[in-house]
Each structure stands twice: as structure tokens, then as C-alpha cells.
Structure 1
Amino acid sequence: MWPGDESFGLFTEGDSLYAAMQAAIRAAEREVVLESYIFADDEVGRALADVLAERARSGIDVRVHLDAAGSLFWASRDLDRFLRDSGVTLRWFHRWHWSRPLRYNQRNHRKLLVVDRRQAFLGGFNIHRENSRRHYGERRWRDTHVAMTGDLATQAQAAFEALWQRCLWRALPQAHSSSAVVLPNKTADCAHRLRCVFAAMFASAQHHIELTTPYFVPDGWTQQALGQAAERGVSVRLLVPRKSDVAPIRWIARRIYARLQCRGVRVFGYHTRLLHAKTVTIDGDWVSVGTANLDYRSLFVNHELNLCARNRTLASALTTQFETDLADAEEFTTTWPRQRTMARVLAPVAWAARRWL
């Protein structure tokens, strides 16, 4: 942890993150809350489940909120039963029901752990072996998480409670510091808060914008903010997967990249591993780390949670990681090979369905 009013720790390897999370849970004295989009019944998930179960059996209040769609093919009834039988309060977010089919599209995409309202972990890492070098090897997913203490942990707990209690539009506690805040994308004063914050951050940039996201299908307002930043001389660099694992996003993305490149944005395709990190740095000063992708689903549909902070130490660490990632990436040129006919035909369809991707 780096010292300060709110201490931060940065994780880019799953094994070290999971070890830190387990250690924090073992040290819990009163309460543990966790939410995750994916909680797999594998080596990583079982190890964390064992620690959660042990603390629940010892009398600690342990609550776990998992997304039904995200964990559909990863979790199991055995894992569900084990947690409940151990005293863990487990809740599934938006299980499928024929009477309310549309709500299944809105998902809890957040990955958050808060222990005793004093320590929190937030970012892109799901709970599965694909993030572990020990269990998955060199092809493990590339992701980023941040650990926080102090007032930010209290804010993270409040965000968990709001979704757990289904009081989504109540006002969250005010931050004591003006330099850092934990932000859900749906707040009492704005239904798409993160989109507004990102646009404001891009508009305020004077020198550099470094953005990493696995899925880049932003709305027109966000595209405009990035393009305008590049046109006024800001160095805007975007790191995305060289080839998205979601075919419709591949069909759409090329057009968006080309449009931004014409305005001066540089786009790099990461090719070594599956890219899953979601980070932003502005002028080596402002940062955002969290669960939100730069796409319609994260900005307008899902429940997301991001740390937005003004912290040069954290920004420096993220910039260093960004440069490291660029060494495993290739810059996309403005001259693209012609798309296959099917991709050209389906791209407008995919754009129309962008809220469902």
C-alpha cells in the first residue's frame, strides 16, 4: 500500500491479488461483503470460497452478491450449496425469469471486496483460474485491480449496500476528500454517471490520455470528447485487444477506430494475452480503475463501479503498466484491409444492438 489519506495498492497479477484478498478476509473481525460478475467453481474460486466459508462459520457476517448471467457457465450448484451451508448469505443478481425477461439484460458487472468497511478491492479481475499464472500459465488474462483503505472503503461498502438492498437511487455518502471517489455508474443524481465523468476527464486533459479497455463501443458523446482532445494537441492513446473475443464488437470497432484515428487518436492492439483491464490516466494525474468498459453496456445498462482519483503515484504506476503493455501491442494503421462482406453487412446490425452486446 502507498501511504496517504486513502492508501492504494495496484494489482496486475491474479495470484497476488487473490492472495491479498484471502489474507484480508482471514483478518476480518466483523463483516465481509463481496460481489463478482464471475465466481467460478475452479481452483481459484474454491480457494476463496473456503476462506469465506471459514469466516462465516466463525460468526463473521459474510455476504456474497453474484451475477446470474455472468456466472452461468462458471459457478455450480455445489459451490452455491457449500457457501450457504457454511453460513454465507448468497444472493444471485437477476436470475432469469420468464415474467421479466428484459431485466436479465441488466447485469451486476462489479468486482468488489470490502472487509470491515476498512479495506476494499476493486477492478476488472473476476474470480476464476483464467487470471492465475499458477493455474492458467502464460496465457492468463491481463487485468488490473486496485486496493483502497480509509474513506474510499466506506464509499465502496455504501455502493455494495445500495445494490444489495435495491436502493439504487439513494444518495451515497459524500467523499471527505476531493481527490478520490468510488463511483457507481447509476447514482441518485445521474443514471449514467461514469459516462459523464469520463467525458469531463477527457475534456480537461491538457497533455496525455491513456486508455485501456477490452470492449470499445462508446457513445457519440464519448467519441467526440476523445476526438476533440486529440485535435487540440493532447496525446490520446487507446489500448484494445488486437482481436476482440466478441465478434459483433469486431465488426463495429474498426469503423470507430478509423473515425478516431482520422482525428489524431492512436490505437494499439494488444496481442499477447486476453486483455480485460479497464483503466484511464489523464496527464499523469487523474486516474480511473474499475469494472466499466468503454461500451454501451457498461455506460448505460449494467451496474458498474470505478475508482476515480487524483493521485500521481497511482497514475505513475498505471502509466508504467501501460507502456509495458504497449510493448506487447501493435499500432493499428489508418489503412485497413477490406472487411469481409458478412462483417460489412452485419456491422450496422451490431451497432443497432450495441446495448445488448
Structure 2
Amino acid sequence: MSLFSEEQGGSVHGGTPPSTQADASLCVPELREGRGAFRLFVEGDALFDAMIAAIENARRDIRMESYIFAADEVGARFVAALAAKARAGLDVRLHLDAFGAGQRSFQNLQRELEGSGVQFRWFRPFGALHPLQYLQRNHRKLLIVDDGDAFLGGFNIRRLNSRRLHGETRQRDTHVRVSGPLAKLAIGHFDRLWHDAHQFPASAIPEDPKNMEALLVPSYSRHCQHRLACLHAGLIAKAQAHVYLTSPYFGPGIMIDQALQTAAMRGVDVRLLVPRRGDPLVAGWATKAAYALLLTAGVRIYEYLPRQLHAKTSVIDATWSIVGSANLDYLSLFVNQELVLLARDQTLTEQLQAQYMDDIAEAEEITLSIWHRRGWRARGLEAIGWTARQLL
């Protein structure tokens, strides 16, 4: 019996996603209820302090990967901590995305890392022989220390996430710390990309998670090439009370779009929090291109106002929570390497729901009447966004 009934969806290299909500709901695993097993971070300074402390307390090995790893004060702090542990004889591995982190300004930090004994790799640098591989990026953010603690979520390594360094306009994001069995499972996910392997190691995907309260879910698996999309659609289809989604980029495709509309029409409180301003701008236009059908179905849409929104979270009823690197858009769900925590933990769900209410208190709700009154310029930009969605 596989973890999910995903044989419906084909393999990583072929097949199609479940075509109905009933099929998608088969992708929701059976987990036991937990409480209080995770630590949530919504401020970069607190997260970075905790990550550095974990690195400094490491005794055997450290594995880290990030999409963006800036050559700034935050990046230099992490490089110094990693280099010190490598010089002390620990097995330290750093895997960075060649597009997100591969800037010329990083070269000095790279030399420091490699000179201290840190094992360093770029994920898919551009190669003339396989140029299309460059289109898939490693968008994950993951730190694993001694197979005992792991951190994952949306925070990149950069000063933009620090209130101390960037100020009140710092980026809004979410991360989570896990420990025990989940940290050990994270090693399998890290090692697969480190060795550029296509198949998931069996140890990274438990076949029977009934005795676990959470899982680490990648963007695809051995049995389903659309795993995150199927998981979200399945959870939304099962929702009875509410669905609270936060995504900086939104364009998830037909399966999730239809699940959201159907849930709202049957009376579920479905809410979507997105940024007021997209980064880049065309991403915001693409997000707005999805508004009309969602609003008509009864989905409530909020645009976050005070600062840049980068968190990727989902709260479904009082039961399910998702925190990770994946946006609800085409690139995250169908192209890039992503990793999220799926938890059935009451404490985490309550914390995420409370944070969600704080966030929408600082957002403007876009009602259907407001949307109908938008000007011709906004409609033109929406058309550009709609075209961009179709091209993806």
C-alpha cells in the first residue's frame, strides 16, 4: 500500500494528474493528530538566530540548501558559521540554486566556503548541452543538522528578511522547525538533489504514515508527477469549514482553481491572501487574471498592503497545515523542486490561523463589486497577465 493512492497519476516522467476532485482527494495521506511538535517563525531575525545556533551546536554533519543566498550581512554570517564547523572537521554541505544565488558578488563567499572544507555545489548551472534543464530551479529552503533538527519554509538567506537590518519594510515570510523522524526524512530529500538523482530514496517517503502527525512533501514523487497540486486539491475538496491560503504568486491551474470554486459554492469559507503588488509586476498581473472566476464563485480575496509578501501557507479547517517553499503557481506545482511540511497538528494550525487573521487585518478585501469597477488600464494589465498564465 503506497503512501498516497497516486498510481492514478503516473510517474515522475509520465502520466496525467487526477482529473476530478474525488481522484485528487486520494492524494491526502492518513496522519494521526499531533500537538506542539513544531516551532513556527514569522520573523527573519528569530529564524536566522535559531538556525545559526543549530549550526554552532552541530556535532556531526550539516546539510543546507537555498534558492537565494545573498552576499550580504546575513549571507556572510551563515558562511562564517558553516566554515567554522567545516574547519572543525564536520561534514558540511551547501547546495545553492545556480539562478537564484549564482551572482558574481557571491564568488568571495564561495572561495571562503570551499577553502574551509565546505562541500559546495550549484544546482543546475546553465549548460549548452542541456539548456532546457536550466528552466527547472531548486526553490527549496532547507537546513538539516545532525539528523535531529530541520528548518524549512519560505525564508531565503538575505537581509531583506531581517527587521534589524532592513527595517519595518522587511519581507513577510514563514518558516518552521521540525525534529526527530521528520528531520531524518529530510536527509533523503536533500541527498537526492545533492546526487542529482531522479528517483526518491525509499527512506524519504514512508509507505505507511498513519503513526506520524506530519510529512515532508516534495513537488513530485515516485508515483505522482503533480503531487503538490493533487495534495492541495484533495485537501480543499475535503474541507468542511474553511480554507485559508497565502501565496505570493497565484496561478495553480485548473485542478486547484476548480477545487476552490467548488468549495466556496458549497459554503466553505475560502480565502486567498496575495500581495497588492507583484514582484515582478507581470506576476501580479497574472495573479489578478484569476480573480474573476474565484470571486464569482464566492472565494474571498485579500491583497496584503504593508510590505512584500513571500509566505506560502495553507490552513484547511482546524486540521491541516502546509508550510513550505511552494507557491500556488505553475512553476512551483509543475516545474521547480519544492518541499513543504504537511501537518495534522492542532497547535501549528492554531498558530497559522492566528497569523492569517493578523495578515488579512492588514490587507484590503477585493470584492466582486470593486473588481467590476476597475479601470481599463487594470483590465489591460490583467489581459497581459492572463496571456502569461497561458504561456506557462
TM-score, with normalisation over the residues of structure 2? 0.86
Q: CA deviation at 1:25?
A: 0.6
Of structures 1 and 2, the one scoring higher in RCO (CA 8 A, sep 6+) is 2
> Quick one: distance in 2 between partners of 1:266 and 1:84?
49
Q: Secondary structure at the match of 1:187?
A: coil
| Cα distance between partner residues in 1 of 2:387 and 2:288 | 14
Aligned to 1:300: 334
Establish whether residue 169 from structure 1 lines up as the match of residue 161 from structure 2.
no
- Runs of 4+ aligned residues of structure 1 deviating over 4 Å after TM superposition are none
Q: Which amino acid aligns with 2:375?
A: R
Query: What is the CA distance between 1:100 and its match in structure 2?
Result: 1.8
Secondary structure of 1:33 counterpart? strand
Residue 48 (structure 2) aligns with = 18
C-alpha spacing 1:276/1:348, structure 2 compared with 1 (3 Å): closer
Matched residue, 1:253? 287
149, 165, 177: which one aligns with 1:147: 177
Shift of 1:21: 0.3
**TM-superposed deviation, 1:331:** 0.3
The 5-angstrom pairing of residues 195-214 of structure 1 reads 195-214=229-248
In the alignment, is the contact (CA less than 8 A) between 1:6 and 1:151 conserved in 2?
Answer: no
CA distance in 1, matches of 2:62, 2:270: 39
Verify: 1:124 aligned to 2:154, yes or no: yes
Distance 2:390 2:103 in 1: 27
Unaligned runs of 5+ in 2: 1-33
Aligned residue number for residue 385 of structure 2: 347
Matching of residues 167-246 of structure 1 within 5 Å: 167-170=197-200, 171=202, 172-174=204-206, 175=209, 177-246=211-280
Q: Does 1:272 align with 2:306?
A: yes
Deviation (angstroms), 1:342: 5.0
Q: Secondary structure at the match of 1:40?
A: coil
Cα deviation 1:258-311 (Å, max 9, x = unaligned): 210100100000010100000000112100000000000000000000000101
SS in structure 2 at match of 1:65? strand
Which has the higher mean CA deviation after the structures are superposed, 210-219 or 240-249? Answer: 240-249
Q: Indicate how the Cα distance of structure 1 residues 5 and 347 shifts in structure 2: closer, same or farther if over 3 A, else same.
A: closer
Q: If the length of structure 1 is used for normalisation, what is the TM-score?
A: 0.95
* Alignment partner, residue 66 of structure 2: 36
Q: Take 1:153 and 1:176, find their aligned partners in 2: how far apart are those partners?
A: 18
Cα displacement (A) at 1:173:
3.9
Aligned to 2:375: 338
| Partner Cα separation in structure 2 for residue 83 and residue 5 of structure 1 | 39
State the one-letter code of the partner of 2:321: V
The whole-number CA distance in structure 1 between the counterparts of 2:104 and 2:75 is 10
Distance in 1, matches of 2:68 and 2:105, equals 8
Shift of 1:315: 0.3
Q: Counterpart of 1:60? A: 90
Retained in 1: the 8 A contact 2:239–2:317? yes
Whether the 8 Å CA contact 2:40–2:175 is kept in 1: the answer is: yes
Distance 1:27 1:5 in 2: 26
| Percent of residue pairs identical | 48
Quote the offset at 1:6 in angstroms. 7.9
Pick from 120, 137, 140: which aligns with 1:90?
Answer: 120
**Contact in 2 for aligned 1:217/1:256 (Cα 8 Å):** yes
Distance 1:193 1:345 in 2: 29
Q: What whole-Å deviation, never above 9, does each CA across 1:322-348 have from its counterpart, x for those lacking one? A: 111111100012133134275255334
CA distance in 2, matches of 1:6, 1:154: 19
